[in-house]
């Protein structure tokens, strides 16, 4: 697979999404090499001097006041990495580890970290040849960088730790050797440059963002089908309603749903003579809720795109001022806020989806659909417990949506006395996405069942395409059967993007 060339500081969300979804290898634009090497030479000069420079010839954190002898600076960096390899928990996925490595490359490429160009080349080759560090999932509080997880990544670069190569977990040095690569021993400041930074938190937040946006796109399709299933009104989708409010996401959500529902015979059948005046909010306010979630996701996207392009280690080489300065760009507060925003959007998309499911299985609200969407209620329970499952998932996501960024605690002998908790704030998004896709999968099953009960009336062409795609894998529920595999299959149709591909209609894009 050809490498995607990235220009540090200008990488787009679409490029980051391509890296995430397709695990594309990357290479930095060679134009950034001069700045990278200039910063490295500045660090080398500082290491050769007598003036104490944090992380170059001093200890770390609470030990920053201790001067390190010139001959011990390499050992200092080696010890830093080994001592910080304290991650615990299950290893993160290959996809996530590769995204973290890419983000670290982008940070180095800004020319403020002071690492040698050889490290850029080694990381690029590891991505190209499939050498993936084994990185435990837990251990970062998201301040002073994602220290523990990034130390595990760095260990492999130096021939320590563990890595996956061709589906086999190996000692780091062996994995590199099998790929035809050699480790590089750390020079002054280089270990600190690797582990100071927000790349772990940012990678997981980006993954949550991309998955959440796909879920939002699926929601527009599935909720439109639910609207037809209960013979809901399309009047609340009128463009002037949304223009009068002016919220971008709401306007786009309403427009997408209008387009999806155009040509529905089911809709036309009750345009006149319908005694209902208004639909419940889960139908009538879909653009307002899904659209607001889309707006929140775009706000988070703006923050994360900036962070992906940022230099976030410490100290930084300021070329313009010719200074090496200790600051705090490693503090992941922006990422923590973004992750909390994504969590709120995921929770709310699921909450309103669950209410549509409840609406469809309730014969008092579903406009003459049979109880629990089964042809023979009583003998069969239909989708009764599928709805209960979504209630459980919705509730779990509500709890997971509580903010993480407010939960600071002091660490490192009170030197790092305020932390972001961005790492697990971003990591929890994975479970929330899984929960949401399962909720949406159940809604898809219910909506399809409801639309089929309206036969011979037909839904719109886009929704017929969605129904055909669903029925390739999941049969109509005519009598009770073992449903768990169907729920997983429906969730997979949502999470994989297969449902969106089948419909092939224009849906809102993430770009802020």
Cα 305 from Cα 206, distance rounded (Å): 8
C-alpha to C-alpha distance for 249 and 246, rounded to whole angstroms = 9
What is the residue whose two structure tokens read 């787009």? Answer: 12
Active site residue 281: no
Q: Which two tokens stand for residue 235?
A: 């009047």
Read off the tokens for 339. Answer: 């992750």
Is 293 buried (19+), middle (13-18) or exposed (0-12) by CB count in 10 A? buried
Q: Which of the residues 54, 119, 281, 482 is marked catalytic?
A: 54
Q: For residue 467, how far is the Cα from the chain centroid?
A: 28
Residue 503: partners with Cβ closer than 8 Å, 6 or more residues away = 221, 260, 462, 463, 465, 466, 469
Q: Are the C-beta atoms of 363 and 370 separated by less than 8 Å?
A: yes
H or E segment to which residue 324 belongs? strand 323-325
Paired residues of 28 in beta bridges: 6
296 closest CA partner among 332, 333, 374, 349: 349
Among 448, 446, 437, which residue's Cα sits nearest to residue 471? 448
**Whole-angstrom Cα distance, residue 305 to residue 310?**
9
Q: In sequence order, what are the residues at sequence separation of 6 or more whose Cβ sits closer than 8 angstroms to the Cβ of residue 98?
A: 19, 23, 127, 132
Spatial distance between the Cα atoms of 4 and 11, rounded to a whole number of angstroms? 11
- DSSP secondary structure code for residue 2 in this structure: P
By annotation, the residues acting in catalysis are: 54
């Amino acid at each position: 697979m050809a490498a995607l060339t990235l220009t540090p500081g200008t990488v787009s969300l679409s490029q980051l999404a391509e890296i995430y979804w397709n695990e594309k290898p990357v290479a930095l634009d060679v134009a950034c090499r001069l700045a990278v090497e200039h910063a490295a030479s500045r660090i080398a000069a500082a290491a050769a001097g007598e003036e104490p420079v944090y992380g170059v010839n001093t200890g770390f954190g609470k030990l920053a006041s201790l001067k390190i002898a010139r001959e011990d600076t390499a050992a200092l960096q080696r010890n830093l990495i080994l001592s910080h390899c304290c991650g615990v928990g299950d290893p993160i996925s290959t996809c996530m580890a590769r995204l973290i490595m890419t983000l670290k490359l982008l940070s180095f490429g800004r020319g403020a970290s002071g690492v040698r160009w050889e490290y850029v080349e080694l990381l690029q080759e590891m991505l190209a040849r499939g050498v993936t560090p084994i990185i435990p999932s837990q251990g970062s509080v998201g301040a002073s960088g994602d220290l523990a997880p990034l130390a595990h990544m760095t260990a492999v670069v130096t021939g320590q730790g563990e890595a996956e190569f061709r589906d086999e977990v190996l000692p780091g040095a062996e994995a590199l050797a099998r790929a035809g690569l050699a480790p590089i021993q750390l020079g002054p400041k280089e270990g600190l440059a690797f582990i100071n930074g927000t790349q772990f938190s940012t990678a997981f937040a980006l993954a949550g963002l991309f998955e959440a946006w796909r879920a939002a796109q699926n929601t527009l399709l599935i909720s439109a089908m639910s609207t037809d299933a209960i013979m809901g009104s399309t009047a609340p989708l009128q463009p002037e309603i949304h223009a009068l409010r002016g919220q971008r996401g709401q306007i786009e959500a309403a427009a997408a749903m209008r387009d999806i529902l155009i040509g529905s015979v089911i809709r036309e059948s009750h345009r006149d003579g319908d005694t209902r005046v208004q639909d419940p909010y889960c139908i009538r306010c879909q653009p307002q809720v899904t659209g607001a979630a889309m707006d929140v996701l775009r706000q988070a996207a703006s923050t994360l795109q900036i962070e992906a392009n940022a230099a976030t280690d410490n100290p930084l080489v300021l070329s313009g001022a010719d200074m090496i300065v200790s600051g705090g760009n490693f503090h992941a507060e922006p990422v923590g806020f973004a992750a909390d925003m994504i969590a709120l959007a995921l929770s709310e998309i699921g909450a309103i989806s669950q209410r549509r499911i409840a609406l469809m299985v309730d014969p008092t609200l579903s406009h003459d659909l049979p109880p629990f969407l089964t042809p023979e209620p009583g003998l069969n329970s239909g989708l009764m417990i599928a709805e209960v499952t979504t209630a459980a998932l919705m509730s779990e996501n509500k709890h997971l949506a509580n903010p993480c960024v407010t939960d600071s605690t002091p660490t490192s002998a009170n030197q790092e006395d305020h932390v972001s908790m961005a790492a697990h704030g971003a990591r929890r998004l994975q479970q929330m996405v899984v929960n949401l896709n399962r909720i949406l999968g159940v809604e898809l099953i219910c909506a399809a069942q409801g639309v089929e009960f309206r036969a011979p009336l037909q839904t719109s062409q886009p929704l017929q395409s969605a129904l055909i795609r669903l029925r390739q894998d999941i049969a109509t529920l005519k009598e009770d059967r073992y449903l768990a595999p169907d729920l997983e299959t429906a969730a997979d149709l949502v999470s994989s993007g297969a449902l969106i591909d089948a419909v092939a209609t224009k849906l809102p894009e993430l770009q802020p």
